[in-house]
A = this chain, B = another copy of it.
Amino acid sequence: MSLLAIGTVAFDAIESPFGKTDKIIGGACTFISLSASYFTKPVQIVAVVGDDFPQDYIQLLEDHGVDTEGLQIKQGEKSFFWSGKYHNDMNTRDTLITELNVLADFDPVIPASYQGCEYLMLGNLSPQVQMTVLERLEKRPKLVVMDTMNFWMEVAREDLKKAIAKVDVLSINDEEARILSGDYSLRKAAKAIMAMGPKTLIIKKGEHGALLFQGDDVFFAPALPLEEVFDPTGAGDTFAGGFIGYLAATDDISFENMKRALIYGSAMASFCVEKFGTERLLNLTKEEVDARIQEFVKLSGFTVEA
């Protein structure tokens, strides 16, 4: 089924204990759409870049089945740029540079050909922009998944709460769940957040996996223990892209299928962190993805007497 993703398409510059990159392609929407493209094509995107954004990068997205009709190119403006440095534990990072540029006054435009999309992934952007996109869709999608971050909890809490109330699935990390709910216990935090509107909540725990809550049900997808985590940038977005991409491809939003989608998202994220930026997401094969899924089956499968 048709999938629309919004979020940043941007430049990242990354430093980690393993090296340093120049400005490379990054942004939530980039990781989401590349990851989702392994399950369903085309992936429609609504995003904005400046005229400094290389045509090669746009072509790279197109080559992976991303429909860039909704990618605005602002003449005379610069693309969003983020630079960060990871510490030795790869779990904490310092933001070195954030240049909003074109994002400062992003007015999302939905191409007519995108109307009627069934699955909507609201990648991390201001809650106001996220809501504008939802409002500008003439028909409410079958499933709306929203990702956000602590920054918006600090600077736009009321807008954020209004947005959260309107989505089906919210995806945040454990620290954000604690901030948003005021509860340290993730089980309690999940209840409090689902009471804000979303029927389903994903709490991402990075290298510790991810939890899926819906009503009284809870499911846990482990993260694959890797020999080396090279660069965690985009892992959460890649996870979200795999999650909604799998749901759109199977067109089944039952809790049972969401469990599988969580595993597929985790598998895609496990690839993402193996190389810098989007590199590992550019040339995966179906065999590699299937083999990785089987690693998750082995990792968490057990039987007990009923």
Contacts and interface: CB of A to CB of B under 8 A. Distances in A.
Contacts of A228: 185, 188
Interface residues of A, number: 38
Given A184-B88, A227-B188, A299 B260 contact: no
B225 A186 contact: yes
B227 A185 contact: yes
Contacts of A227: 185, 187-188
Copies of this protein in the complex: 2
Interface string A204-230: 010011010000011111100111110
B220 A300 contact: yes
Interface string A80-99: 00000000111000000000
Interface string A288-305: 000001000111111110
Given A208-B205, A226-B185, A260 B219 contact: no
A263 B185 contact: no
A78 interface: no
Most buried by B among A185, A188, A299, A302: A302
B302 A219 contact: yes
Contacts of A186: 225
A225 B218 contact: yes
A259 interface: yes
A219 B295 CA distance: 10
A88 B185 CA distance: 11
Interface of A: 88-90, 184-188, 190, 205, 208-209, 211, 217-222, 225-229, 256, 259-260, 262-263, 293, 297-304
A300 B212 CA distance: 11
Given A185-B229, A259-B302, A263-B304, 6 more contacts: A185-B227, A188-B228, A218-B298, A219-B298, A219-B302, A260-B304
Nearest to A222: B220
Contacts of A220: 222, 225, 299-300
Contacts of A211: 225
B187 A226 contact: yes
Contacts of A263: 302, 304
A186 B293 CA distance: 20
Most buried by B among A225, A260, A298: A225
Nearest to A184: B89
Contacts of A185: 225-229
A175 to B, nearest CB: 11
Nearest to A295: B218
